[in-house]
Structure 1
Amino acid sequence: MKAIDPISLALGQKQLDHICRTMGWVMARTARSPIFSQSHDFSCFIGSKSGQVVSQADGIPIHTGGGGIALTRLLETFEGRIHPGDCFLANDPYVAGGNHLPDFTVMRPVFLNEALIGFTCNRAHQSDIGGGAAGTYNPKAEEIFHEGLRIPVIKLVSKGEVQDDLWRLILLNSRTPDLLDGDLRAMLGSTEIGAKRVHDMASPMGGEGLNQLFTLLLDWAEESFLAAIRKLKPGTYVGEDFFDHDCFEPIEARIKAAITIGADGVLVDFAGTSPQMRGFKNSSLANTRSAVLFGLVSFLGAHIPRNDGVFRRVRVEAPEGSLVNAKPPAPVTSATTYPAHQIIHAIWQALSPTAPELSCAGWSRISHCNTSGTDESGRYYVAYQWLAQPGAGAVKGRDGFNVMGQITTLGGLALPDVEDFETSYPFIVECQEFVTDGGGAGRYRGGTGAVATVKVRHSAEYSFRGEGNGNPTSFGVLGGHAAGVGSCSIKFEDGSSYAPPRFGVERLRPLTLTIKAAGGGGFGSPYQRPPEEVLNDVLDGIVSRENAEADYGVVLTGKDLYVDEQATRVRRQQLKKVESST
C-alpha cells in the first residue's frame, strides 16, 4: 500500500475516534448502573494487534493511558490462543495491567480474514465488586484482598460462547449482581459494535493497510510530542504534591517528579517519592504511567494525539515499593483519583517554569462519600455522592470551571442530574449550588466548587474519603491564590449533628448530608482582574462583597453596587505593598 498522506491520516484518526465514541454511546444506552448510564464512568479505546493504544477518544483519560499494558498482558498470557469470537476480561493492577480493581477491562480481538488486526476495549468502573465496603472504595483496606475480586486476564467469551462458570463466579462476588450482569453485557456489546466498525474500516485497505495506518498514527503522536517538548528549555525541573493522611492517621508523604527535558525525549523520575502507605492511596505502575501521560499532554496541548506513540519519547522511573509503584499486596483502589491527582500536579508544577503561559492552577481534591443500602423495595443500591464536586484551576485566558469533577476525569465524568439522582436512590436533594468564595483569587479566578445537601431517608452505610477536607489541596500560579478546603457534615432527624471522619466506613441512621467541595486555584495576580469582572462575580453570588475587597482590592458601593474606582485604586496599592513585604 502507498504511504498515507496527511489528510488521509487525519481522516483515519477521526474515523477511529468516532468508533470509540460509538462504543461509548452503546455502553451508555445499554448499561444498567447509573454510574455508566448517567455519569459515564467508563472509557473506550482501540489497540493495535501488538497491543498499543491508537485511539482513546471516549471517556476518562486516567482509564486509558495505561490500556496498552493490559493489552500486553493479554498477548503474553494467551499467545497463540486468541481466536475470532473471543473476548477477554481483567482488572488486577499487579498482574493484568489494571489501574485498580473496580475498573474491569473488556478486550475484544478484531479479525480480518482470520488474521488478528487489533482490539476494541472498554474499561469501566463497576458499582460493586465485593471487598470490605460496598461500592468498591474501602478506606479501611490495608491490603488489596480487602478491596474486592482480583481478576487476571481471563477468556470470558471463547469463540462466541460465554464461559458461564466464570460469569457466575464474577456475579457471586458482587453485592449488586443484577447491575453487574447488565453492565458486563453492555461492555461486551459495545466492544462487539466497535469490532464490527474496525473490521468494516479495514476491509477496503486490508489488514496490512490498517496496520500501516496504526503505525503512522503512532508516529504522528511521537512527532507531535517531540515538537512540543523542543519548544521548552532543556533541563531538569522538579514538582511535588503531598499526602497528609493515610486513611488511618496523619502522615507526611510526598510524590516528587523530576522531569528532564532533552531534545529526544523526556525522563520522568519519581526518585524521592515516599514509600507506599498503609491505606488505599497507592498507585499501580499502569496507573502511574497513565497519570504521567495525562499530566504531560494536558500541559503541552490538546493537539498532541493521545496514543502510545507519545510513550516512545517518555521514560518513567518509579521506584518499586513507593507510592507510584506499590508492591503487592498494597491496597490501590483510590489510585485513579489519589495519587493520580498528585502525580499530575507534580508534573504541572515541574513544567510551569518552562512555559508559564501554559500553566494550569491546581484543582482541589474531593470531599464526598459513597452511600449504600436498600431502598423501600428492598433493592440494594450503591450511590456515589457526586453532586458536590471541586472546582477546576484557572488557566491563561479563562476562569476555572466551577464544577467539573476530579482532575483525573478532565470533564469526562458527567455529574448526575438531580431528578435522575432522586429517582435512582432513596434520596431527596435539598440543595445544590455553587460555593460563594470557593475559588482561588486571580486574574483568572479558580472554579468555585459546589455544595449539596442530600436527605437520606433510610439507614445506610457510608464510605468516607474526604481527601479535600484537611489542608488546602489546590495551588495558584503566577501570583494566583490557592482555594480553601472542603467539608462534610451530617445532621440526624432529631436535630443532633455529627462530624464524620475524613476516612472510614460507618453505618448510620437516616440523616441529612451536606458536602461542600473546595474550589480551584487562581491564575495571575488578582489585582489584574478587571473590577467589572469582580463586580459580575459578586452579582452572580460567586464572590462575596467582602472578599471582592479583601482578595481583589475591588471596593463596591451603593445600594445597587457599583465599582468605586478611586477607592479600588487605593485599596489595590495597599494590598500590593502588604503582599510584597511578606
Structure 2
Amino acid sequence: MAPLDGALAGIRRQVMWNRLIAVVEEQAQTMIRTAFSTTVREAGDLSAGIFDLQGRMLAQAVTGTPGHVNSMMESVGHFLAKFPAATMRPGDHYITNDPWLGTGHLHDLTVVSPAFHRGRMVGLFANTAHVIDVGGLGMGPDGRSVFEEGLYIPIVKCFDQGRPNETFFDFVRAGSRLPVELEGDIYSLCACNDAGARRLAGMMDEFALEDLDALAEFIFDSSRRATLAEIARLGHGTFAAAICSDGYEEPVTLRAAMTILPDAIEVDFAGTSGLSQRGINVPPAYCRAYACFGIKVVVAPEVPNNWASLAPFRMKIPDGCILNAPRPSPVAVRHVIGQLLPDLMMGCLHQVVPDRVAAEGSSCLWNPPLRGGAQVSGQARANRRVVADFEVITFNSGGTGARPTADGLDGTAFPSGVRTMPVEATENVAPVIFWKKELRSDSAGPGRTRGGCGQVMEIGTKGELEFAVNAVFDRVGHPAKGREGGGDGAPGVVMLKSGTRLRPKGFQVIPDNDRLLLLLPGGGGMGDPRARDPALVQRDLRDGVISPDVARDAYGVAVDAEGRIDAAATARLRGGV
C-alpha cells in the first residue's frame, strides 16, 4: 500500500496545484471585470499571483505579461522589507508604482495584500496593472528624470483593515488627469486580491490545509528539478549576440554573452550602450524580467513560472548601461528597449538549439498615447476649435518573427502577450476615429517560413481637429532581422497622412484636418525564401499579404494574370529547383 499512498499523495498535490492556478486566474479575471482602464479591460496588461510568507512567487495567473509577472516576483520582497508579515492584518492593502521596486515605470501600480485563513496569515497576493495616466508628462520618452514622468508613490498602505487611506486617495486624485479612472483602478486591484484570498481560503478548507508550506515546497522542488533537467540537456559554453534599437538621441546596441553551465544560465550584458537622457532607460528588475522570459520560453517552456523555476537564470547588468538605470533616470517607456531582450536571448540560444528559436519580431508594442483638448491646443481662440480634453492609449503590435516550422503571427504582441485593443473600445472613451486598421502588405520578412505582418493604422479626431501623439515606437531605423537566410521585416513608419514624416519617439502634434498614419513593422523571416512552398506564396498573394513583385523577386514564384502559379517561369526564377 505504501507505493499507492505515495501515488495518491502525488495526485492530490497535482490537484491542489491546478486549484491554485484557478485561484490566481480568478484573481486576474476579477481585475479585468472591474478595472476602469481600457489597458486592463481590453488588453490584459496586468499580472496576478500568489506568494509564500517569504515573498517567493508560488503561481501566476495565465493572464498577464512577462514584464509585469517577473518584475512583480521581485516586488513582494520589497513590500515585506517595509511592512513585515507580522504587522499585516486582514483587509490591509499596500501599493507602489516605484519603478525600481515594481515593474519599471510609474504607469504600473503594484498592490500586495495578505491572505488569512482561520485568523492566521498564510500567504500574500500581488498584482500589477498598467493605468492610463499618473500625471506628469504622460507616458512618453521626453522626461529627463523620473520626477517629470508622473506621480511617484512609495510603498504605502492604501487600505487599513478594509478602510481606505483618504489622504492617499486625495493625493492620487489630485495628481492625475483621469482621477476617477485612477481611483477606480486602485479599488479594482485591491478587490482582485480580496477575491484571490477568498478562493484560497475555500481551497484550504476543502483540502484541510493549515498552511501552504508543504504545497510550496512541492511546487518549488518540482519546478527547480524540471528546469535544471532542461538546462542539463543544452550544450555548455558561452554564446554572444547583439541587437540594435532606434534609441532616442542615437541608436542603442544591446549585447549579451550567455554562459550555459550544468546547473544555471548566466547572462552578462557587458558592452551594452550607456544610459539615455530620455525615458527609454530600463530599471534592472525589468531587464531581468524579460531576459528570463526569453530564456525560459526556449529552454523550459512547459515548467511553471515561479520563484524556483526562474532562480537558475542569473544576470550581470553593468552599472551605467541602459539596462541598469539608477534613480532618478527617466524610465517611462522602458518597454521600448526591454521588450527587445527576448530577441537578444534567442540570438544567443539560436547557436545552441536553433530548432526552438524564432526570428526577430517587431517586439516592442506600438501603443500610441493620444491626447487632445486645451492641454494640446491651449484655450479656444477665434476661428479655432479644440476637441474635449482626453487622454487615451491603445495597444497594437506588428508581426512576430518566423518560427522554424511555421510563419510568424500577424499583428500579435510578443513578448508582452497583451491583446490588441478593439478600435471600438478606444473610440468609446475618447473623441478619436480609426479610419483604417488593416494588415500591411509586404511587411513580413521573406523566408522558408515568413515573418508576421505588421499593420496600417490611420487615426484622426472627430471633426478632424488638432490632437497629439506621444510617440513611443521602435523598429523604424532597425527592423527585425531574419535568421538562417531569411529576410528582414519591413521597418515601421510614423507620419502624417499628408506625407510628413514624424519622429518615432516624442510628443508631436497632428494638425487640424490631418491624421496620424502608423505603418507597423513586420517580423523577420526564417530560412531561404526560395525554399518556401509555392502554394503558400500563392496563398499569401491571394490574401494580399504580399505583392506579385515580392512573390517574384524574393520567393522566385511567378503567377499569371489569374493568380495561378506559372510552373515554368517559377522553375527559371528558382534556378531549376
Letter matched to residue 471 of structure 2:
F
Distance change >3 Å, CA 281–CA 179, structure 1 → 2: same
Query: Letter of the aligned partner of 2:200 in structure 1?
Result: V
Matches within 5 A, 1:405-420: 405=413, 407-410=414-417, 413-420=418-425
For residues 411-467 of structure 1, give each alpha carbon's deviation from its aligned partner in whole angstroms, at most 9, with x where no partner exists: xx1212233332222122221111111111111111011111122233323211231
Q: Distance in 2 between matches of 1:196 and 1:162?
A: 20
| Aligned match for 1:486, one of 476, 485, 492 | 492
CA contact (8 A) 2:45 2:129 kept: yes
**Partner in structure 2 of residue 351 of structure 1:** 349
**Aligned partner of 1:545: which letter?**
P
Matching residue of 1:468: 475
For 1:478 and 1:433, the matched residues in 2 are separated by: 29
Asked whether the 8 Å contact 1:240–1:345 carries over to 2, the reply is no
Cα gap change, 1:129 to 1:169, in 2 (>3 Å): same
User: Residue 276 and residue 377 in structure 1: after superposition, are their counterparts in 2 closer, same or farther (change >3 A)?
Assistant: closer
Q: State the secondary structure of the residue aligned to 1:339.
A: helix
Q: 2:236 aligns with which of 227, 234, 237?
A: 234
> Does the 8 Å contact 1:538/1:544 carry over to 2?
yes
| Root mean square deviation, CA, Å | 2.2
1:216–1:549 CA distance, 2 compared to 1 (3 A): same
Letter in 2 for 1:269: D
Instruction: Call closer, same or farther: CA 1:121–1:521 in 2, change over 3 Å.
Output: same
C-alpha contact 1:90 1:98 (8 A) present in aligned 2: no
Q: Deviations over 1:173-204 (max 9, x none)?
A: 11100111211111111111011111222234
In structure 1, the residue matched to 2:507 is 505
Q: Does 1:119 align with 2:118?
A: no
Q: Does 1:555 find its partner at 2:555?
A: no
- Equivalent residue letter for 2:458: T
- Please report how far the alpha carbon of residue 275 of structure 1 lies from its aligned counterpart in structure 2 after TM superposition: 2.0
Q: Do the aligned residues in 2 keep the contact of 1:452 with 1:515 (CA within 8 Å)? A: yes
Q: Distance in 1 between matches of 2:10 and 2:541?
A: 49
* Aligned twin of 1:8: 12
Q: Secondary structure at the match of 2:295?
A: helix
For 1:12 and 1:318, the matched residues in 2 are separated by 38
Residue identity in the other structure for 2:18: K
d(CA) in 1 for partners of 2:184, 2:388: 15
For residues 313 and 564 of structure 1, do their structure 2 counterparts lie closer, same or farther at Cα, with a shift above 3 Å needed? same
Contact 1:368–1:488 (CA<8 Å) still a contact in 2?
no
Contact 2:244-2:478 at 8 Å conserved across structures: no
* One-letter code aligned to 2:371: S
Does the CA-based 8 Å contact 1:462-1:508 persist in structure 2? yes
Cα distance, 1:402–1:120 mapped onto 2, change above 3 Å: same
1:127 is displaced (CA, Å) by: 0.6
AA at the equivalent of 1:312 = A
Distance 1:116 1:343, change over 3 A: same
Query: 1:370 — aligned with what?
Result: 369
- Alignment of 1:41 with 2:45, yes or no, is yes
Name the counterpart of 1:396. Answer: 404
Q: Distance in 2 between matches of 1:554 and 1:6?
A: 56
Inter-partner Cα distance in structure 1 for 2:477 and 2:134: 29
Corresponding position of 2:186 = 184
Residue 382 of structure 2: aligned partner: none
TM score, norm. by length of structure 2: 0.92
Structure 1 position 567, deviation (Å)? 2.1
Match of 1:579 in 2: none
1:555–1:334 CA distance, 2 compared to 1 (3 A): same
* Contact 2:336 2:365 (8 Å CA) reproduced: no
Write the distance in 2 (CA, Å) between the matches of 1:256 and 1:445.
Answer: 26
2:543 alignment partner AA: D
**Could you give the per-residue CA deviations for residues 515-538 of structure 1, whole angstroms, max 9, x where no partner exists?**
110111112221221100100000
The 1:161/1:273 distance shift into structure 2, 3 A limit, reads same
**Does 2:517 match 1:522?**
no
**Partner residue of 1:26 out of 17, 30, 37:** 30
Give, in angstroms, the shift of residue 390 of structure 1. 0.6
Q: Name the % identity.
A: 27
Residue 514 of structure 1 deviates from its aligned partner by: 1.3
Out of 237-246 and 347-356, give the one that drifted further: 237-246
Alignment partner of 1:384 is 2:393: yes
3-state SS, counterpart of residue 19 of structure 1: helix
Name 2:323's counterpart in structure 1: 324
Query: What TM-score results when the alignment is normalised by the length of structure 1?
Result: 0.91
Offset of residue 380 of structure 1: 4.0
Q: Is 1:367–1:469's contact at 8 Å kept on the other side of the alignment?
A: no
Match of 1:250 in 2: 250
Q: CA deviation at 1:379?
A: 6.0
Q: Distance in 2 between matches of 1:255 and 1:562?
A: 45
Q: 1:342 aligns with which of 316, 340, 343?
A: 340
**Deviation, structure 1 residue 377:** 12
